[in-house]
Structures are given as structure tokens and as C-alpha cells.
Structure 1
Amino acid sequence: MQVRFFGGLSVSAGADEGAVPGRGQQALLLRLAVDAGTTVGYRALADDVWPSDAPEDPRAALQSLASRLRRALPDGLLASVPGGYRLELSRDDIDVTRFQDLVAAARSENDPRLARAALDLWVGDPWIPHDGFDWLVRDLWQDRGHAERLAAAAPPTAPQKPIVPVAITGLVGRGDELDAIRDRLATDRLVTVIGPGGAGKTTLALETVRSAADALIVELAPAAAGEVWAALASAVGRGIRLNETTPAPPTTPRQRVLDAVAGREVVVLLDNCEHVIREAAEVAQALLVSTPGLRILSTSREPLGVIGEAFVGLGPLPALDADELFARRVRSARGTPPSPDERETAERIVQRLDGLPLAIELAAARARTLTLAEIDAGLSDRFALLANGPRLSPDRHRTLRALIDWSWDTLTDAERVALRLASVFPDGIGSGDADAIARAYGVDATVFDALVDRSLLVRRDGRFRMLETVREYGLDRLRAESAETEYRERAADVLTALATDRERTMRGPGLRAGLAWFDVNEENLSAALRTRAAGADRRAGRRLLRALLWAWAVRERTEELRPALATFADPNSPLEDEASVVIESLSLFSASFPEPGETPTFDPARFRARRIALEEAASRHPSEITILAAPLLRLAETVLRAQDSPAGRAWHVDVSDGELTSAPPWSRATLHMLRAGAAQNAGDAAALGAESERALRIFTEVGDPWGTGIASQLRSEWLILAGRLEEALAVSDNAARIVDGLSSVSDLLQMRAQSVGILLRLGRLDDARTRTDEMGAVAAADGSVRALSQARMAAAQVEISAGDGAAALRESQAIRLEPGFPDQITAWTGAQRAQALILLNRLDEALAALREAMPLAIRSHDHPIVASVLVAVAGWNAAVGRADVARTALARARAVRGAADDHEPFWRWVQERLGADTGDLPASAPGIPLGEVDADVLTALLD
């Protein structure tokens, strides 16, 4: 049997030719053929068959491939052996291995005949199933180069010196880039490999020219200005024969080079052009114009700028290749690669070094005397850690600092300013912000593009970004010049101005674009806030914090808000501008709603005095936000006054007609929305309907998606109570679409849960179950406890509606509520668990769950939650035969909520158990005031 890969895949046995179907089987065949007659282990097979997307169980996948390949081959050719598989063929039966063996023999014996025999096998380029076998192609092309030289019958007594220096270490990764260079060089006469220092440009360039019949390698790193032609001339004698028919000896380096390449098809490698870039460009153009068959491959940290120049960008190594390079070099340094326990540390080191091959090599070399953990810790001062490279390396590659010094020395003054300023923007610089940022430092924005050309910045996704190593270099320069504080303060100034301008556009249709800006500048803004916190002037910090507040509010970043307020709020500072009024008002409001477990300290007289002072200041500095200060602070005051009262309305919003009339549209819509929320909580269905309609209408007119989403939720709640369920579903679904991507995943899932509840009220159980499955997938992808809890609660609600107590209990028990979860969430979860237990007739356990849930619901002052617990209480009473108490519980749920939610599935279940109309209160029950929550009365329903 013969297997051929030159010119395409062919498998033949005698006179029969057969095909191996499928890339997976073809890849397995090629990998086994390369080591024909030898066992190839599972790991080696998997790495080459699936180089970038391995299956979860590679061994099982290999077994499946091998089984299919075995059916395509003659019996007995593919053997399964301990540890792997073996192809039972000799190397002479496979064209690529026979070719390699002939070349090896030809080189060993210096035999042109054997070299020609090998070349006869090369009937076409080697076939491979995918790019994962580029290593094989490179090896075959290298062997072809050896064979071609031997076939030319070189004198055996004087072996030719290789044109290209032999690589000391194997190439790791870079297969795509290597192919790209070869492709460009086949179609373009000037190709420049561009990348930062230490990315491996020279290595790839040398690898590329190995297969060239004629090549001239010119190392320009030692060349100074005016020496490029001389550097080429000195390389001529080593790389290419001088034209022996030249009538007279050349008199200048330029003439000598042009004479040497005249009439030839030659590849000239100009390596390390950046420090003599203009002269290198002039030389390249002269060579291209004078010699039609000549091609140039150059390496540089910036383009040559010659017409027709093609580029191959060389960035950091991909993560897997970078990890592999580090592992190999660590093994070289200490004898063993990183252990499984060290893998995470090794990956972090590689990531911190930006995947730059030279930096990785320097770090791995330290493994001879340091642990990987010590190397990782030492990267906090990477330039000191990586200060001792290989003794014989070029100076610019011997240390990490020298690597970037080489680029720094070529920069103009403006470019040096730009590099240092970019280092204090950890998120990079948006192209739309570049002009303002450049002006703040006294340079022109075009300087950022210049740094991109010099491979010190990259432009990606509309931003100028900097490798972390280059960023640390810039910061190191600033610290050495005692200029870091100045540069950081300028950054804080310009970011405050930019953020303030963006913030003004975010209460309306500009919200998404504004949030996107704040998101991509998150680290920049955090760094600016830290700069302001470290400074003596808190006013500048308050202006920056004021600009951040609305983005933080929409994104629910409360964990950052409280410490920021603690840093920048100051009740003794003058209320001299809008930012101070907003910060101080928010600080007072936030203190009124402490974290769970904390108790606010409340002095009524002091609170009132401060509230009045802030309201007066808000009237002096009007804005869409300050106009909300007075109503919100009055709301906070009512909450604080009611904190010791377990009954009655916990909060309400007092807004005068004058405040509503004078408010701009967005603020007016927000006030109506606050009123709607208060009405929902108070069980005032009529007010909920009127206020939610007004809020939703105005927010829609303004075009604000955040307000539209929240107002839609409130509107949907009223529509549910009004029995307009189809309309409620449409409004709720539309709200979820509007806010998708604006707020947290758990908030979005809460909206989707509202739609699930409506579907259950409509009796559309299958649709509700489909929705909860989708919610579960979203929550699993997010991974947060709150998101997972939301999805589980919705799933439990579906199972309760289906009457499956066991499934509902499983979902309820799977909910993991972290310490600090709001009381209302814990109470509602407890009510769901009780409903599941009631369905299972485990009534004692249900009672225990309700005894835990009831006080939490009452303490939360969240009336819809109290109503939900009361419905579960009614179910328990109905199940134990206390019909009158069950009816009373339902009546109280209706009063607390403001209307009977009699389409809710468990409410219907209770009604069916009672077997009677519960629309009216039983005659023995006293009148129940609207929205009344009396802890003693409600708790007594469980006695």
C-alpha cells in the first residue's frame, strides 16, 4: 500500500485507489504516517488533529476517528496499541517520509544522486488537512532546500555555508503569520514585518528566507545613519556571487550591491530598520526600481513608507503558544516544565508579559534560580527582574528595558510625551477622545498614530491601546522624572470633562452610547478617581464622582458608590455648585438606606436641618438630578421615621404640583415613576395605574430606555391587577427588550420573571416553562448568585403552577441566598417553599417556612411581598381545614396589594380548595383598611 501527500492526498493498495473521507480522519492518517511503524500517543495525536479546538474527551473522539479510518484502510493497517495507535507501514510506503529519509541520507553521504531522487518525489506542494500541520510543511520545505543545494553537485570537499543562520531553538506558534509572510512575498515585492520589540520579527523573517534560492541577509541593527548601503555591500559577498561579467570593479557600496543583484531573482532581508528608517526606505526603493526580479522582506517597528509596501503585523503570541513557549524555556532552565500546581502561575506570568516572546524567554530563564511564584511577584518591577538576558544576545535584546529603550531613542519629543501620557490611561484612549486628551498634554492627536506606526501603541476597536510592558515602561519614565502625579492629574482633569459631557446625554436616547463610553473607560475613570482621592482638593473629586453617578446607578454599581461617597462627601463643605449638591444629597439619602444588618443613626432635627439646606441649594443649582433631591430626601425622612414601626406605609413620595410643573420632562417622568412605586407599595391600585401611565408616556416621549423599562414594569403590575393580562404581557416583554444590556443580568431576569408570572396567570404553562429554561441558561452564563436565584425562583413558580410540589421544592431548595440578600427576596423564597410543601401535604414544614417568611416580609415594608406571603398563608389554612382564616388571609392579601390577584396560580389553587367565592370578606371579619400591615394580626393567621 502507498500513501502520498505531495500534490494531494492519495491512498492506494495495488491498483485500487481509495479516498479517506473527512478532515478528522485525514488528519489522523497524516499524523500516524509521519511516524509510520511507531506508536503515536493519544496526547500527541490530539494536539495535531485538533490544534485549536480540542473536544472535551479527546481519547473518546480519537477512538471514534480511528474506528472510521480503519474502515477506509485495508485490514490490519491501523493498530490500536497501549497508549495510542500505530500505522503498520514502512516509511518507504509514504512519500513524505521516504522524501525525508532520502534527504537525510543525501546530506550524510553528500550524494547528489540521492538528493535528486528525493526531489523526484516532490510532484506538488505537500497536502495537509489544516494549518495545525504547518510544522510538517516547514520541515519539508527546509529539506527541499538542502536537496536542491546537493543536487547542484556542490564540491564535496567544501560544504556550502548555510545562507540563513541555523535556528538554535524550534519555532513555537506563528504558523499563521509565517504563511502570511510567504503569501505576501509571493505577490508583493516589498513586505514589512511590523511588530513591537521582542515579538520575533527576525526569527520569522529568517524562517521565511530559508527556502529562497538566492537570499541576501542584512542585519541593520549595528548600522548608523549613512551606513545602510555599506551594510548591504558587506553582506553581498556572503550571500550572493558578484556578477563576474561586470566590466569594471564597482567603486561605491551602492554600485557594488546593484551590480551584485542585477539580473537575479533574489530575496533581500533588511532586518531591524526602525532606527535608520528613512535611509532603509530609500535603499529599498532603489533596489526595487533597479532590479525587476528582486523582492525585499524587511523587519521594523514601523513601516518603511515605500509605495507598494505590504505588511504583516506581528502582535503578541496567542495564549496557548505563549504558554507552550514559557513551558519549554522553563524546562530548559531548570530541567522540568511547570507542574500542574504551577500552571495558573505560569499562565499569569505569560499574560502579564503580553505574550511577547522575548519577555517570556527572559522570564523563563529566571526559573533557574527562582520559583515561578517568585517570578510572578517580581514582575511588579519587571525591568529589574528581567535585567539579565543571554550573554551573546544583541544589546537591545539582553534586557527588557533595553528592548524598549531601542524604540524610545527613535522618538520625537511629542511622541515621548504621548507614550508617557498613554501609560496613565490603563483602558487606552478612544479615537473620539484623542483630540481632547492630546490637547491636555500640549501635543497633537496625530502623535498617537505615529506611536501605532512605531509598534508602541495598537489601534483596536476604535481605541489606542498599549501593551502592559510598554505601559510599565512609560510609568517608570514618569516616576524617574517625578512627573507621574502631574500626568495623572491631567488625565483626571480631561476625563472629568469628557465624562461630564457624556453624562449629560444619558437621560434620553443617548443612554446606551453613554454607558458604552463609561464601560470602555472603566479603569481610566477608576484610576482618575484614585488620583483625586489622593489629592488635597476634594472639589475636583466631587466633580468627577458626579459625572460617574448616573452610569453607576444604571449599572447598579452600589459597591463602589458607598466608599466613593465616604471619600468625597463632606457635610461641612460649601454647597457651591451642582456637583456638590448632588453628592451631598446622595450621601444623606444613602445613609438612610444602610446595608443589610446595619442600623442608621437618625437624629430627626439634624436630618431635617440638613435636608432643608440641601433643598435650598438644589433650587440655586437646578438640573435634571437636583430637582429630584427634595422629594427623595423627604422620602428618606419618612423611611427613617417609620424604621421602628412594623406597620403602616413605610414610604411615600411627597411631590408638590409646583415641583412637577417646573421639572424638565425626564425629571417629571421620574417623579411620576416614584409615585407609582409608592402606590404599588401602599396597595393603592388606582394611583399605581394613573402614575405608571404618566411615567411610561413621558419616558417614551423622552426616549429614555432605563426609565421606560422601569415604568413599564410598574405599568404591567397594574395591568395584572386590572385583569388585562395580554396587555400586561406585551408591556412586560417590551420592557425586557428595552433594558437588555443596560442593567445587571439579575435585573433583566427579574423583568423576565414578571412575564413568566403573567404567562402562568394566562394558563400558558408550556410557554412559561420555555421562558424559565432560557432564564436558566442566561443565569448560568452570568454565574452570579443573584442571577441564579432569580432563575430558580421563576422555575419554582412554574412548578407550583403545574401542581408539581416535588419539582417546585427542588428548585426552591437549590436557591442559595447569600448573607445580605434583601428581606423581601428571602421572604418570597420562603413563601414559594411553603407553597411547594403544601402541595406535597407536608404541612408542618410549610408552617415552619411561613413562620420564618412572615416577619421578614413585614420588616421589608414591601407590600406586594407581604401579599404573596399571605396567599401562601391562605393556602396553608385551607389545607388544614381553616377555611374562614384562609378567606381572611386572602382578603388581607387583596387589601395589602390593593386588588385581588385572583389569576395568580396559587391564589386559584386556594380558591379551588375553599370551594367558594372569596371575592367578599366573610361576615365575621372586621373591615380591613387599604394597605394595612399589622404584624400581630398577620402573624396570628398562623396560630
Structure 2
Amino acid sequence: MQVRFFGGLSVSWGADEGAVPGRGQQALLLRLAVDAGTTVGYRALADDVWPTDAPEDPRASLQSLASRLRRTLPDGLLASVPGGYRLELSRDDIDITRFQDLVAAARAENDPGRARDALALWTGDPWIPHDGFDWLVRDLWQDRGHAERLTAAAPSPAPQAPVVPAAITGLVGRADELDAIRDRLTTDRLVTVIGPGGAGKTTLALETVRATADALVVELAPAATGEVWAAIAGAVGHGIRLNETAASAPTSPRYRVIEAVAGREVVIVLDNCEHVIREAAEVAQTLLLSTPGLRILATSREPLGVIGEAFVDLGPLPALDADELFARRVRSARGIPPAPDERETAARIVQRLDGLPLAIELAAARARTLTLAEIDAGLSDRFALLANGPRLSPDRHRTLRALIDWSWDTLTDPERVALRASSVFPDGIGSGDAAAIAEAFGVDATVFDALVDRSLLVRRDGRFRLLETVREYGLDRLRAEGAETEYRERAADVLTVLAAAHERTMRGPGLRAGLAWFDANEENMSAALRTRAASADRRPGRRLLRALLWAWAVRERMEELRPALAAFADPDSPLEDESDVVIEALALFSASFPEPGQASTFDRATFAARRDVLVEAARRHPSEVTVLAGPLLSLAETVLEATEAGFSGPWRVRVSDAELEAAPPWSRAMLHVVRAGAAVNAGDVEVLGVESEKALRLFTEVGDPWGAGISSQLWSEWLILAGRLDEALEVTDTGFEVVAGMTSVADLLQMQAQAVGILLRLGRLDEARERAAEMETTAAADGSVRALSQARMAAAQVEISAGDGTAALRQSQAIRLEPGFPEQIKAWAGAQRAEALLLLDRPDEARAALREAVPLAVRSHDHPVVASVLVAVAGWNAAVGRADTARETLARAATVRGAADEREPFWRWVEERLGADTGEIPASAPGILLGEVDADVLLALLD
């Protein structure tokens, strides 16, 4: 058995190592070790174990201590003998007694060699459990002085550089940070490497000082409060040289350290300062003030806060370096690095672990027994998966949980609340929202900055964010405490308030800023909605959904709207506030426009009754949005009327001029847009022009960019039909610039497609082709099926205009029309395919494509698309020699559209096939309703 007191208490036997708990047992062990192998009496033991406050019955207390100590040590080592106790060890088994014996022998024989052997045992300051053993420390220092004088009088080997632990594995990445540390140390005397646990701060600090001539490494992790000076003194160890004229050895660790480093150009590494941060800061400042040549390199999860402190922030490893580290450690664990088919899984593991080197190392070590796919799956419970680190690593680095526990234990109660609160905000917390969120959780907003200082939160791009591993830790804490639901509900409450405040600014100049807030909080809002959907009380969820609606509308996130309405709308609930009215009106409106292939769940009578209730409630709860309820529901009712009648009639909006004038400016502009949209479908070109122009003017006045963009599209539609193509192009391009970066990619591509169509009507084919190519690039970057389809339809339109049927068909065939795609898009794509086939003189295939497109166009209620399909039908009739039917079909297209779009490229192609004289509708067809939009009637044009 070996017992060591230099540099700290250590007890080991064979391959085992034990801990002696409690100051009383430690003091008893030390006193017995000083006289190992001999009996120490009860009185001597009691005087040193309790030098100032002895118990009433010292002998009984010694018996209790000895009994507990005996259970800690191997059997037979602590003997109870008459009059006292004896430690059955040789003096050579105890470092301090071996030191004393070597010094005594060296002095007796004037032997510098034995003196050097003695000094080699001094690996750190003598450890004592309390000040009652000052006599022992003085004795040891005096012996050290004797040993140093003996070695100084004899030739000795050249002094070696201070011992810095050798690197076991090579450093991966971090070259920039390493250079930054070295650079700071040349200009600053205190440099702190700051980063989260497991980022590799210690590794970089050691790598830095390996190239330093004189360095001391002080591991502060084991130090408790009040032990920082002692820890440094222990690290100084054999580097101390006593002043020959000193009357006695310095007994204070502080004075011993200051004397040891005096006059030296030394770098002291203070490693792991965070749990003793205040004391470490005070010690660092004292050392810097007392020793001009001294520099300090500290590692910590937060700044020391000393004047003149320089920082090197150590975040997660960059992706490529993190991947390389994982690959190397996987190779170490199983003999081969990740295979090519495992690289995607490996990259995902590294990303999920936030690029933290220690977490990556722990995960890679599991590759010895698990596949990478199993490791990836196991990260859903990462703290269980990464619970077995290297046996000899410090406890705080042995498991992923312990890594964060080390930081958690240093936090104040408000900081712990803030960390757990942050974990239920997956998008992080905006700095502008921090005060409101802190108040909701009963803490001060400054705690978020404190968590940034402690490397638990990251402040980036104006947001406080948690690393994913820390976020999972916070959630794990909440689940263990049974507080997750409470915290999520508080988050949903404050997000509802914040969202409502931003939503009110978005119908005007504040739209872009409001959208940016909603975009930044997208996952936060989704999580809040899920929380509300799980609650029996739907009212808070309705208020949250109401706050989200306009941002969703502008971003065209309709795929999320229907399930949200299904979760929160309830026709039987009372209409108590504006949120209720908006949610229920929107649910009713949405039900009248079912998804493709589904029927409406309302008949006209049920719809009308519910509409009347909602219109009355809208009057009781007026707002910019509820004023739209009546007109929009009247429009939806016309759709139901047409559906029940079996054909697609025109949309209508029932809103009087008086109601328009009474509406707020933004609402009035929106009503003009609704009227213009209905006019497009009704083929009423005059109303389209008047209403779209008014909408554009009003939206420009109120400063709403989205409204200006959508009304620009409608105004451009009218300009096209009026033959004012140059103006139409200018309006379209201006509208595009206004809404760029604000609406969805698909909506922007729709505007670009409109510009392509105008250029083709102007005969500017090359420019149209360039625009279509730009659309392809934008769509490819977006990657959505809808965006790619729009880009390919624009490209097909260009090739049709160029008369290249092969290229047009190739583009058309590349369009992916998935289930659930809007029927008007499917119809238009079908018409384009038919036009390409007609250019290739394949009329039978073109007819088949049109027979599919016509019903889709009719069911879509999109009359401009119906008109486009009819132009293609006219082309088929012209191609097969049915000139009269072709002329009739063109007339139908013009009536449905509201005007003849004669400069549209395929219209011109049809007219060229018919000749200069387009003729008239045959007299043999009296009573033809050219504006009738009925699938059977229109399909008959292909018979």
C-alpha cells in the first residue's frame, strides 16, 4: 500500500485506489503515518486530530474514527494496541516519511544524490487536513531546505522544463484558435479560453504551453473554495527555491507561490476555473500585480472578470474538423473509419452533438459495440447512450450528463430557471423578447447574459440559443421534476402575447419586420401550438393561432393552416372575442374550398346560417380583419352555389360602396383586391381594371408591400388584356421587387412567370428565355416540387412560343404533379403538354391530354386557367381541320377571360392555322352561351 501527501492525499494498494472521507479520518491517518510502524498514544492522537476543539470524550471519539477508517483501508493495516493505535506500514510506503528519511541520510553522508531523490518525491505542497499540522509542514520545509542546499553544492543536471502532460492523441482542427491564444499571450498577461464543457479548452491550453520555456499547469477542478492558492502551490512543487537567508520556510501557500515565481518569466495555466471563479480571479490579479514577468492562461466556462483580461472563445468544432475527429475516433474504436455509405450518418451524429469534441469522442467510442446507425438512433436519449467514458478521465468528463452537471452545479436558482426556460424555446430567444420571457418565468432578463458568460447560452444574430445537448439537458431536468408542461405553457402564453403584438404591426410598413420575427420564431410557435393542442381548454390556442394567421397567409403556409383550424375551430363555441370570429370565419371559408378530390362539408343552407352568425359577431368585435369576414364569406357562398348547380359560375363579392368607405384603409384596399380577384373569374375586365388600380393605390398609401405586390399582379393582368404590355411588364417587375424576400418562393415565381408571358407577347423571346432560366435557378435552390413545376411550365411556355415542340414536351414531361397539387396547375400543365404535342403533329395524344385538363380547369374555379385550356382546345380543333369549332372555342376563351388575349403566343399559332379570316361563330349553333363553364359542354368541343 502507498500513501501520498505531497500534492494531495492519495491512498492506493495494488491496482486499486481508495478515498478517505471526512477530515477526522484524514487527520487520524496523517498522524499515524508520520510515525508509521510505531504506536501513537491516545493523547498525542487527540491533540493533533482536534487541536482547538477536542470532544468531551476523546478516547471514545478516536475509537469511532478508527473504526470508520479501518473500513476504508485494507484489512490489518490499522491496529488497535494497548494505549493507542498503529499503522502497519513501512516508512518507505509513505511519501513524507520516505522524504524525511532520505534527507536525514543525505545530511549524514553529505550525499547530493539522496537529496535529489528526496526532492523528486516533492510533487506538490504537503497536504494537511487542517492548520493543527503546521508543525509537520514546517519540519518538511526545513528538510527541503537542507536537501536543496546539498544539491546546490554539487554539480547537477541541467534544469528540465516544467512537466506538461504529453498529448495522447493528435489535435484535430483548432489551428486558428491555437494561433489566437499564442498571439494574445504575446500582448496580454491574462488570457482566458472560454467555451462550453467538452469544447477542448484544456487540450488547447496544454498544447499552447508545451512550446513555452517555463510553465506551470494548475488543475483547479479538484479544488474547493479556499484552495486555489494551495492548488497552485502544489503545482509549483519542486520549482520553489528557498532564500538561503530566510529564517524559516514560508507556511502560507500564497507566500510560497509568490516567492517561487518571483523573477521568473513563467506562464501559469489555471485550468477549469468556473467553479471557483471569484477566488481564481482574485488569485490571478494578485499574481499579475506581484510578478511582472508572469502571464496567466486560464480556461473557464465564464470570464474571470479581471481588468485587462483577453479572451479566446472556443465554440463547437467546424463541421469538417468535427467529422474528421469522429472518423479518427471511430477508427480507434473499431479499426476502420466510417465507410462511404456511413458518412451521412456520421455527419448527422456530429451535427446533433453540436460539434463538441468530448461528446464526439464519447459517441465514437460506442462504435466498438454499436453501428453508427444505432448510435444515431440512440442520441434520442443521448445521456443514456453516452454514459460510459474512459475509466481514468475526470468524473466531469466521463459522461455527457456529468459534463453539464459540472456547469449546472455552479448556477444560481434564477440561472437554473432561465436555462430550463430556454430549453422549451427550440428557436432560442430573441434579445428583444428576453425581458418579457424572463418576466413570464419570474426572473430578471440579465440571467440570459449570465448564462452566455457561463458558456451555456450562445448569443448569435440577436438571439440567445442553447446548444442542442444543453437544451436536451434542460428538458431532461424539467421531465425529472415534472415541470415540463408548466414551462411549455408559460412559453406558449408569452409567445401568444408577443405574436399578437407583432401581428398588429404587419398590415402596413411593419410587415417585413413582423415577418422576420415570425420567421425567427417558427419552431417556437409550432411548439407552442402543439402545447395548446394538447390542452383541454382550446381558448388559449385559438388566440395563438389568430396571432399566427397573417404571417402564414403572407408566407402561403396553407399546408399548416388546415390542420391548425381542425385542431382549434369549433362551431359550437361562443364567439367571445375577435380571435374567435376570425378563426371560425376562416374555418368556414376554408371548408367551401375543399382540397382537390374532396367535397365540401357544407350545404348552402347550413353555410348561410353560419355565415349570418359570424357576420353579426364581426360587427360586435370589429377589426381590420373581421371587417373582411362578410365579403369573403359571400364570395365563398357563390362557389357553393356554382358547385351545387353542377357548373362553375363566376365568383361574386357582396359588399356595398358604403361598407367599403366605412372600412379602415388597409381593409378597404383588401376588399378592392377581393373584388378584383372576383372580376378576373367573372371575365369582367372593366371591374378588374378599376378595382386593382384602387387596391394598388391604397396599399401604396398605407405602405403595405405585400398588398402592393398582389394588387400589382391584378393590375398587370388588366394591362395585358388592355394591350398595354410595356406598362404591364413594368408593373410586374416593380411588384416583384416590392415583395422579394417577403412572400413564398412559389409566389415570386408566379410573378416571374407573368413577366415571361408578357415578354413572349411582346416578341422578346431571348429575354423571356433568360427570365425562365433565372426561375429554374431559383426553383432549384428552393427545391420544392411546386417551385420546380412553375419554373418548368415557364420554360415550356417559352419553347411553345419558339415553336420547338420537342423542347416544350421535354419541359412538360419534367413537371411533377403530385397528389394534392392545385387543380388549376394540373390543368395548365396539361394544356401546355397538348400544345407541345400539337407542335409535333401528334393530335391524338394532344386530345387525350386536353380531355384530362378540361375537368380539372372547371373544378378549379380559376377562369383564366379555363380560358388558357380553351385556347389549347381551339388549337386542337384547328390542327384537325375543324375551323368553325376552333373559332367558337377562341370566342369562348375570350368571353371567359373577359377579353381576347390575341397576343398570347399560342393564340397567334391558332389564328395562323385558321388563316387571316377568323370567321364567325356558325349560325347553325344558336343559343350558345360562350361564357358557360361546364365540363360536359367544354369537353364536347373535343368530340
Structure 1: which 5+ residue stretches go unaligned? 1-153
**Whole-angstrom CA distance in 1 between matches of 2:617 and 2:721:** 41
Q: Deviations over 1:848-906 (max 9, x none)?
A: 22222222222322211111122122222222332222222211111111111111111
Q: What's 1:49 paired with?
A: none
Q: What's 2:330 paired with?
A: 330
Q: How much has 1:674 moved relative to structure 2? A: 0.8
Query: Cα–Cα, structure 1 residues 668 and 917, in superposed 2: closer, same or farther, change >3 Å?
Result: farther
Q: What's 1:598 paired with?
A: 598
Contact 2:161 2:214 in 1 (8 A): no
Q: How much has 1:174 moved relative to structure 2? A: 1.2
Q: What's 1:556 paired with?
A: 556
One-letter amino acid matched to 2:315? G
Q: How much has 1:245 moved relative to structure 2? A: 6.5
Contact 1:236 1:242 in 2 (8 A): no
SS at match of 2:643: coil
Alignment of 1:467-482 (within 5 A): 467-482=467-482
Q: How much has 1:934 moved relative to structure 2? A: 4.0
Query: Cα–Cα, structure 1 residues 934 and 165, in superposed 2: closer, same or farther, change >3 Å?
Result: closer
Q: How much has 1:933 moved relative to structure 2? A: 2.1
Q: What's 2:427 paired with?
A: 427
Moved more, 819-828 or 850-859: 850-859
One-letter amino acid matched to 2:843? L
Q: What's 1:853 paired with?
A: 853
One-letter amino acid matched to 1:385? L
Alignment of 1:381-420 (within 5 A): 381-420=381-420
1:730 aligns with 2:730: yes
One-letter amino acid matched to 1:564? A
Query: Cα–Cα, structure 1 residues 270 and 865, in superposed 2: closer, same or farther, change >3 Å?
Result: same
Alignment of 1:146-295 (within 5 A): 160=160, 163-238=163-238, 240-242=239-241, 247=246, 249-295=249-295
Q: How much has 1:446 moved relative to structure 2? A: 0.7
**Whole-angstrom CA distance in 2 between matches of 1:270 and 1:157:** 29
SS at match of 1:742: coil
Q: How much has 1:700 moved relative to structure 2? A: 1.1
Moved more, 173-182 or 444-453: 173-182
Q: What's 2:315 paired with?
A: 315
Contact 2:428 2:465 in 1 (8 A): yes
Q: How much has 1:920 moved relative to structure 2? A: 6.2
**Whole-angstrom CA distance in 2 between matches of 1:934 and 1:587:** 28
Alignment of 1:805-824 (within 5 A): 805-824=805-824
Q: How much has 1:927 moved relative to structure 2? A: 6.9
Alignment of 1:370-769 (within 5 A): 370-769=370-769
**Whole-angstrom CA distance in 1 between matches of 2:855 and 2:185:** 77
Q: What's 1:368 paired with?
A: 368
SS at match of 1:355: coil
Q: What's 1:798 paired with?
A: 798
Q: What's 1:888 paired with?
A: 888
Query: Cα–Cα, structure 1 residues 928 and 864, in superposed 2: closer, same or farther, change >3 Å?
Result: farther
Q: Deviations over 1:287-319 (max 9, x none)?
A: 112222211100000000011111001111112
**Whole-angstrom CA distance in 1 between matches of 2:210 and 2:633:** 76
Q: How much has 1:559 moved relative to structure 2? A: 1.7
**Whole-angstrom CA distance in 2 between matches of 1:873 and 1:603:** 33
Contact 1:475 1:484 in 2 (8 A): yes
**Whole-angstrom CA distance in 2 between matches of 1:245 and 1:203:** 38
SS at match of 1:432: helix
Q: Deviations over 1:259-294 (max 9, x none)?
A: 222222111111111111111111111111222221
SS at match of 1:856: helix
SS at match of 1:465: strand
Contact 1:648 1:931 in 2 (8 A): no
One-letter amino acid matched to 1:579? S
Q: How much has 1:432 moved relative to structure 2? A: 0.1
Q: Deviations over 1:716-741 (max 9, x none)?
A: 00000000101000111111111212
Q: How much has 1:385 moved relative to structure 2? A: 2.2
Under a length normalisation based on structure 2, what TM-score does the superposition of the two structures give?
Answer: 0.81
**Whole-angstrom CA distance in 1 between matches of 2:735 and 2:923:** 42
Q: How much has 1:820 moved relative to structure 2? A: 1.7
One-letter amino acid matched to 1:834? A
**Whole-angstrom CA distance in 2 between matches of 1:508 and 1:203:** 54
Q: How much has 1:743 moved relative to structure 2? A: 2.1
**Whole-angstrom CA distance in 1 between matches of 2:340 and 2:810:** 37
Q: Deviations over 1:827-867 (max 9, x none)?
A: 11121122222222222222222222222222322211111
Contact 1:705 1:738 in 2 (8 A): yes
Query: Cα–Cα, structure 1 residues 265 and 464, in superposed 2: closer, same or farther, change >3 Å?
Result: same
Q: Deviations over 1:154-196 (max 9, x none)?
A: 9998994762100111111111111111111111111100001
SS at match of 1:618: helix
Q: What's 1:832 paired with?
A: 832
SS at match of 1:572: coil
Q: Deviations over 1:109-129 (max 9, x none)?
A: xxxxxxxxxxxxxxxxxxxxx
Contact 2:796 2:832 in 1 (8 A): yes
Contact 1:646 1:859 in 2 (8 A): no
Q: What's 2:785 paired with?
A: 785
SS at match of 1:381: helix
One-letter amino acid matched to 1:701? E
Contact 1:895 1:928 in 2 (8 A): no
**Whole-angstrom CA distance in 2 between matches of 1:186 and 1:833:** 71
One-letter amino acid matched to 2:377? A
Q: Considering only CA atoms, is the larger Rg found in Structure 1 or Structure 2?
A: 2
Q: Deviations over 1:787-819 (max 9, x none)?
A: 111111111111111121221111112211111
Contact 1:194 1:300 in 2 (8 A): yes
Q: Deviations over 1:478-532 (max 9, x none)?
A: 2222221111111111000000000101111111111111111111111111111
Q: How many residues in Structure 1 have an aligned counterpart in Structure 2?
A: 789
Contact 1:508 1:705 in 2 (8 A): yes
Moved more, 833-842 or 486-495: 833-842
**Whole-angstrom CA distance in 2 between matches of 1:935 and 1:339:** 57
One-letter amino acid matched to 1:772? A
SS at match of 2:751: helix
**Whole-angstrom CA distance in 2 between matches of 1:721 and 1:156:** 103
Contact 2:162 2:214 in 1 (8 A): no
Contact 1:246 1:259 in 2 (8 A): no
Moved more, 249-258 or 780-789: 249-258
**Whole-angstrom CA distance in 2 between matches of 1:383 and 1:850:** 60
SS at match of 1:193: strand
Q: What's 1:143 paired with?
A: none
Moved more, 652-661 or 516-525: 652-661
One-letter amino acid matched to 1:165? P
Q: Deviations over 1:456-487 (max 9, x none)?
A: 10100000000111111111222222221111
Alignment of 1:121-160 (within 5 A): 160=160
Contact 1:863 1:931 in 2 (8 A): no
Under a length normalisation based on structure 1, what TM-score does the superposition of the two structures give?
Answer: 0.81
Q: How much has 1:939 moved relative to structure 2? A: 2.4
Q: How much has 1:226 moved relative to structure 2? A: 1.5
**Whole-angstrom CA distance in 2 between matches of 1:172 and 1:155:** 43
Q: What's 1:904 paired with?
A: 904
**Whole-angstrom CA distance in 1 between matches of 2:352 and 2:837:** 53
Q: How much has 1:648 moved relative to structure 2? A: 4.9
One-letter amino acid matched to 1:242? R
One-letter amino acid matched to 1:829? A
**Whole-angstrom CA distance in 1 between matches of 2:179 and 2:429:** 32
Contact 1:679 1:687 in 2 (8 A): yes
SS at match of 1:752: helix
